[in-house]
């Protein structure tokens, strides 16, 4: 046999096919073999895109359809003359395990990762007819599988690949069941969802189909013994039999491929289809899944349906006449929705839902024999094998007509599920709605009609004519959810109609509850109350969801016309129209409800608008709410506070306007003059005579060194309301102490005036003036000299002579003789002190004159080696200055240093004088004057000891021009 492995196998591609109804659903394509064979195919298997071909020579070809150039050529360990020709191939769904059986009942096992088939010694002489693989689809070993033989025996076997030569592949083999009517032509095992210990087993023979379901046995460890024996022993089978079975009639069991785009890993979440080929036809039905296994088999078989052989049209002769009534069916397989049968060289595909034939095509030439039909249940591909050729049955959009079939059968949910285009979905919805209306199921019909394109007015009139307003409401809700956002007018009209329907329904339910009448025979008043709550919540959900589709003014009018206060306010709240809600409650003088709405607001304008009326009726709660706001402008609340203050009779401690203004000032540190002035106005205008609160505020402003109020305004207001202490404080804070004292004295507040005079931080003349004013008032009010004398002793600035002008003319000197004598003695004592100070000053002046004369005779000794403290050169080399501190400098060095340290003006003057002296321009007295001035400027003080040296405090010890190495440590 020659292989062209460089080219390999080429399979037709369906990935680029347009899934359009114009394409044929089934297309049979001959696969072009890119290798030559010297013998016929005798068996074939496909799984998970792996193709296994057996040749009459005993060779096995393993082809990976994803990379068809890689072909494995595998030989059996013995020649066909010894073991027989390969009869059947059994490949598990994962393509990991392959069982090979020959005509002489020799069986071999081949793992996907091996190229050497191993003989199954325990299965020797067992003619294998069927294999049921483990439903968990393991890859390392087969785990527990069932093998059906031609003698009716069913064996459980556990095959595990081994690299040891003498070790058997089968861990164990046990017969678990035996049929009584021929070979086991089909086996299937699957899991029961949610119950890992439960299994379902289907056994097929030519005349009998058996269904087992129950609990399997478990041993100490996996592979230690049979798990299916317990199930077969403890459970009885549900049996379906067919009669008059011909001995040569074909029989097999087929299972539909794994359905869905993303099937579950254990394949237990979807119900698959079985098909049992018998001499009478194909029995097919659902493999129902249920944790209750008691009636699982009976349900499956009772709902199964037989596709009779008579439903397959007979083949035609060349002349067009039917050959025979019933052609032989030699093979069968299942796709997702169809049953495909090989009938006398032609393939017939029949839809299993409605038994319609969708394909009847001759494939084989006359006399050409076929190995059978094979389905890859993992990849949903379908194949026909002959002894020389391979055909692929390409399926395109197999479910295209499922929706129509479901619709015809009035299975509307399924039809909607399989409808793909909008036209199909609409047809399903319309037909479903008509059907439900015909059966009187109006609510269900409303939901379906809402997703259809049936004319709006026709559906609406149907429900109106039937009096089904609940169904109409549900239809409008569904329709509104499907309308496009761009259909603004339609959405507004539908939404507004729904508001009307909701209000009418709520009113009807309210009337029913009020009159305690029953809506129907099955609904009492309590149930009506529950329905009222449900409809109200439904309306609230509707208003919340579709608030953008509702016109506010229209909704207000509709709801108000029905008198539905709660629904009206709910809608206004949902659309954030709190202005309307507040206005509604305020208009009805429902203050607590108004405050409840206000608590949830943050818009300052709402507070400004309703503050006046709410301050008049609920001031405490309103102020509490406003104090929690952070964005209010207190200036705009002042009119409300003033109106409230004019009407309230509360004390200052209970005055809510004062409370809020104090909060603004103390907590929020407001410096707005309007706020402060308003607080002063409230304090000053209050009818109480106690002005401690006002005075406390004013003193607090002074202590904080602030004056956020208008002093002139506050002063006028305090004067108007005769708040004397406050006026005096304001005058004092303005520095107008004279006015403060005068005002206090005007109202006979002598102590207050004395406090101002005592605390004034002015010069002594003004203080004396203030005390004189106070003294005058005291003297005028006192009944005798004694009071005035006591006042005089209290004040240090005043003397008796200051007070004499204030006494009446009839007062004689004898009354205050003692005070006058004390004053004269004090003056005498002061005169003596002044004379002593004058004598001491005269003596000091004489000493100063003596010291000045001594200065003319002062001298300093300069040693020959003395050096200048600036340049370090010998001092006697040129003109120099010597200071009493013994520091000596050259005159030019000293002048340069003085210029550096002195100010700009002094430095400039020294430079001018040096220029005059050096150039000799001036002669005589003028030059002498210049020299004298220069010496005075330069030699006025030592640059190292005097104040000039202080300027050197920030100079570094080492300058940039100094040799730093001399200062190195």
838 and 807 in a single domain? The answer is: no
Q: Which of 482, 514, 531 is the last residue of a domain?
A: 482
Same domain, 886 and 961: yes
pLDDT of 643-700, one tens digit each?
888 888 888 888 888 898 998 988 888 888 888 988 888 888 888 888 888 888 888 8
Cβ atoms of 140 and 129 within 8 Å: the answer is no
pLDDT at site 2: 32
- Picking from 451, 482, 513, the residue at the C-terminal end of a domain is 482
Cβ(414)–Cβ(399) under 8 Å? no
Measured CA to CA, the distance from residue 713 to residue 200 in angstroms comes to: 100
Whole-number pLDDT of residue 789? 57
> Which pLDDT score is estimated for 879?
84
Is 939 within a domain? yes
The full DSSP string for 286-331 is E----S--TTHHHHHHHT-EEEEGGGSPPPB-TTS-B--SSPPEEE
- Looking at 888-947, which runs of residues are DSSP E strands? 888-890
Same domain for 741 and 730, yes or no, is: no
Residue 721: give the domain boundaries.
633-734
In a domain, 718, yes or no: yes
Q: What is the pLDDT of residue 1?
A: 31
Q: Is residue 339 part of a domain?
A: no
pLDDT number for residue 93: 94
Q: Output the pLDDT for position 855.
A: 66
Angle between helix 619-627 and 656-666 (nearest 10): 10
Cβ–Cβ < 8 Å for 139, 94: yes
In angstroms, rounded to a whole number, what is the distance separating the alpha carbons of residues 678 and 701? 15
Question: Which parts of 388-505 are beta strand (E)?
Answer: 390-395
* 639 and 705 share one domain: yes
Domain end position, chosen among 438, 461, 482: 482
Collapsing DSSP states into helix, strand and coil, what is residue 855? helix
Residue in the block written with tokens 């209306």: 437
Spatial separation of the C-alpha atoms in residues 420 and 547, rounded to whole Å: 33
Q: Are the beta carbons of 516 and 525 closer than 8 angstroms?
A: yes
Q: How far apart are CA 499 and CA 558, in angstroms?
A: 8
d(CA 365, CA 391): 13
CB 280 within 8 A of CB 309: yes
The answer as to whether 719 is a domain residue is yes
**Whether pTM exceeds 0.85:** no
Q: Is residue 444 part of a domain?
A: yes
Position 822 in a domain: yes
Give helix 619-627 / helix 591-599 axis angle, nearest 10°.
0
Query: Cβ atoms within 10 A of the Cβ of 720, count?
Result: 11
Give the chain's residues under pLDDT 50.
Answer: 1-19, 261-269, 318-319, 519-522, 810
The pLDDT value recorded for residue 394 is 93
SS3 958: coil
Per residue in 703-730, pLDDT (tens digit) is: 778 888 888 888 888 888 888 888 888 8
* 590-648: pLDDT as tens digits: 888 888 888 888 888 888 888 888 888 889 888 988 898 888 888 898 898 888 888 88
* Domain shared by 640 and 724, yes or no: yes
Distance, in Å, from the CA atom of 611 to the CA atom of 605, rounded to the nearest integer, reads 10
List, for residues 754-781, the tens digit of each pLDDT value.
666 667 666 666 666 666 666 666 666 6
- Tokens describing residue 636: 């705009």
Q: Are 961 and 879 part of one and the same domain?
A: yes
355 occurs within a structural domain: no
Strands 186-192 and 195-204 turn out to be antiparallel
Q: How far apart are the first and last CA of the chain?
A: 104
DSSP helix/strand/coil, 776: helix
pLDDT digits (tens, 9 = 90+) for 366-383: 888 899 999 999 999 999
For residues 742 and 659, state if they share a domain.
no
The string over 528-558, giving b where at least 16 C-beta atoms fall within 10 Å of a residue's C-beta and e elsewhere, is beebbeebbeebbebbeebeebbeeeebbeb
User: Do both 805 and 827 map to the same domain?
Assistant: no
Gap between the Cα atoms of 32 and 38, Å rounded: 16
Listed residue (125, 1, 104) closest to 59, CA to CA: 1
Residues 724 and 638 in one domain: yes
Same domain? 894 vs 942: yes
Residue 554 lies in a domain: no
Q: Are residues 725 and 642 in the same domain?
A: yes
One domain for residues 426 and 474:
yes
CB of 503 within 8 A of CB of 559? yes
Model pLDDT, residue 8 = 33
Structure tokens given for 537: 């919540």
CA distance 718 to 744: 13
Q: Model confidence over 548-580: pLDDT tens digits?
A: 999 989 998 998 898 888 888 888 888 888 788
Q: How many domains does the chain have?
A: 5
Cα 665 to Cα 677, 683, 697, distances in angstroms:
11, 14, 10
Q: How far apart are CA 546 and CA 497, in angstroms?
A: 13
């Amino acid at each position: 046999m020659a292989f062209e492995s460089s080219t390999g196998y080429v399979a037709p591609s369906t990935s680029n096919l347009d899934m359009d109804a114009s394409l044929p659903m089934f297309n049979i394509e001959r696969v072009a073999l890119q290798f030559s064979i010297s013998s016929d195919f005798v068996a074939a298997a496909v799984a998970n895109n792996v193709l296994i071909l057996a040749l009459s020579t005993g060779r096995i070809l393993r082809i990976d359809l994803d990379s068809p150039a890689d072909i494995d050529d595998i030989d059996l360990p013995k020649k066909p003359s010894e073991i027989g020709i390969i009869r059947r191939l059994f490949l598990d769904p994962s393509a990991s395990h392959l069982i090979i059986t020959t005509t002489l009942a020799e069986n071999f096992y081949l793992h996907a990762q091996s190229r050497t088939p191993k003989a199954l010694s325990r299965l020797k002489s067992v003619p294998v007819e069927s294999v049921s693989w483990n439903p968990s689809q393991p890859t390392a070993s087969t785990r527990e599988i069932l093998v059906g033989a031609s003698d009716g025996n069913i064996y459980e076997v556990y095959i595990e690949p081994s690299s040891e030569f003498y070790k058997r592949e089968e861990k164990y083999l046990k017969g678990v069941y035996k049929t009584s009517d021929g070979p086991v032509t089909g086996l299937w095992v699957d899991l029961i969802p949610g119950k890992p210990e439960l299994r379902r087993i289907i056994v097929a023979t030519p005349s009998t189909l058996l269904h087992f379901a129950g609990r399997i046995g478990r041993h100490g460890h996996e592979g230690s013994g049979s798990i299916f024996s317990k199930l077969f022993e403890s459970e009885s089978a549900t049996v379906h039999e067919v009669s008059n079975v011909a001995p040569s009639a074909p029989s097999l069991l087929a299972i539909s491929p794994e359905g869905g785009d993303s099937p579950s890993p254990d394949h237990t979440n979807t119900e698959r289809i079985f098909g049992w080929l018998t001499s009478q036809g194909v029995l097919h039905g659902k493999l129902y899944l249920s944790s209750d296994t008691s009636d699982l088999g009976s349900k499956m078989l009772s709902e199964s349906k037989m596709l009779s052989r008579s439903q397959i049209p007979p083949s035609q002769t060349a002349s067009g006449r039917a050959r025979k009534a019933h052609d032989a069916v030699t093979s069968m397989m299942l796709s997702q929705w169809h049953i495909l049968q090989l009938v006398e060289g032609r393939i017939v595909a029949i839809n299993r839902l409605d038994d319609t034939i969708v394909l009847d095509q001759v494939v084989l030439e006359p006399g050409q024999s076929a190995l059978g039909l094979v389905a890859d249940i993992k990849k949903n591909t379908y194949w026909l094998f002959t002894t020389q050729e391979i055909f692929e049955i390409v399926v395109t959009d197999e479910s295209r007509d499922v929706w129509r079939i479901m619709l015809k059968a009035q299975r509307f949910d399924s039809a909607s599920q399989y409808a793909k285009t909008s036209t199909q979905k609409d047809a399903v919805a319309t037909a479903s709605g008509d059907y439900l209306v015909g059966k009187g199921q109006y609510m269900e019909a409303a939901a379906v009609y809402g997703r259809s394109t049936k004319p709006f007015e026709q559906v609406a009139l149907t429900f109106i004519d039937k009096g089904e307003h609940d169904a109409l409401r549900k239809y409008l809700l569904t329709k509104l959810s499907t309308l496009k956002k761009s259909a603004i007018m339609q959405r507004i009209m539908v939404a507004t109609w729904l508001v009307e329907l909701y209000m009418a329904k709520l009113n009807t339910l309210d009337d029913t509850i009020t009159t305690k009448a029953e809506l129907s025979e099955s609904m009492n008043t309590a149930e009506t109350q529950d329905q009222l709550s449900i409809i109200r919540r439904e309306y609230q959900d509707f208003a919340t969801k579709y608030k953008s589709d509702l016109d506010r003014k229209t909704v207000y009018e509709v709801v108000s016309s029905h008198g539905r206060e709660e629904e009206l306010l709910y809608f206004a709240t949902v659309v954030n129209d709190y202005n309307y809600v507040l206005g509604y409650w305020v208009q009805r003088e429902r203050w607590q409800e108004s405050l409840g709405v206000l608590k949830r607001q943050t818009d300052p304008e709402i507070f400004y608008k309703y503050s006046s009326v709410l301050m008049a009726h609920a001031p405490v709660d309103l102020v509490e709410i406003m104090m929690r706001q952070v964005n209010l402008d207190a200036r705009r609340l002042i009119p409300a506070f003033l109106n409230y203050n004019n009407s309230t009779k509360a004390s200052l401690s209970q005055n809510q306007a004062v409370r809020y203004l104090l909060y603004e000032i103390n907590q929020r540190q407001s410096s707005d003059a309007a706020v402060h002035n308003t607080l002063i106005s409230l304090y000053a205008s209050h009818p109480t005579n106690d002005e401690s609160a006002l005075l406390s505020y004013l003193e607090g402003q002074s202590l904080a060194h602030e004056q956020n109020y208008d002093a002139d305004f506050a002063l006028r207001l305090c004067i108007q309301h005769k708040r004397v202490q406050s006026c005096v404080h304001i005058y004092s804070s303005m520095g107008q102490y004279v006015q403060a004292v005068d005002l206090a004295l005007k109202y006979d507040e002598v102590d207050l005036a004395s406090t101002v005079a005592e605390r004034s931080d002015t010069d002594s003349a003004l203080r004396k003036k203030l005390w004189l004013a106070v003294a005058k008032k005291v003297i005028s009010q006192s009944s005798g000299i004694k009071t005035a004398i006591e006042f005089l002793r209290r004040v240090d600035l005043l003397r008796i002579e200051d007070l004499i002008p204030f006494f009446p003319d009839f007062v004689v000197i004898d009354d205050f003789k003692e005070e006058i004598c004390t004053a004269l003695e004090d003056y005498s004592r002061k005169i003596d002190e002044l004379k002593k100070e004058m004598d001491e000053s005269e003596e000091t002046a004489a000493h100063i004159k003596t010291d000045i004369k001594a200065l003319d005779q002062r001298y300093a000794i300069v040693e020959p080696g003395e050096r200048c403290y600036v340049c370090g050169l010998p001092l006697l080399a040129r003109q120099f200055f010597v200071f009493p501190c013994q520091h000596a400098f050259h005159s030019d060095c000293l002048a340069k240093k003085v210029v550096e340290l002195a100010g700009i003006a002094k430095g400039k003057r020294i430079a001018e004088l040096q220029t005059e002296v050096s150039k000799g321009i001036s002669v005589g007295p003028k030059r002498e004057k210049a020299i004298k001035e220069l010496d005075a400027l330069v030699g006025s003080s030592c640059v190292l000891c005097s104040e000039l040296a202080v300027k050197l405090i920030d100079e570094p010890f080492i300058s940039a021009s100094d040799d730093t190495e001399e200062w190195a440590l």
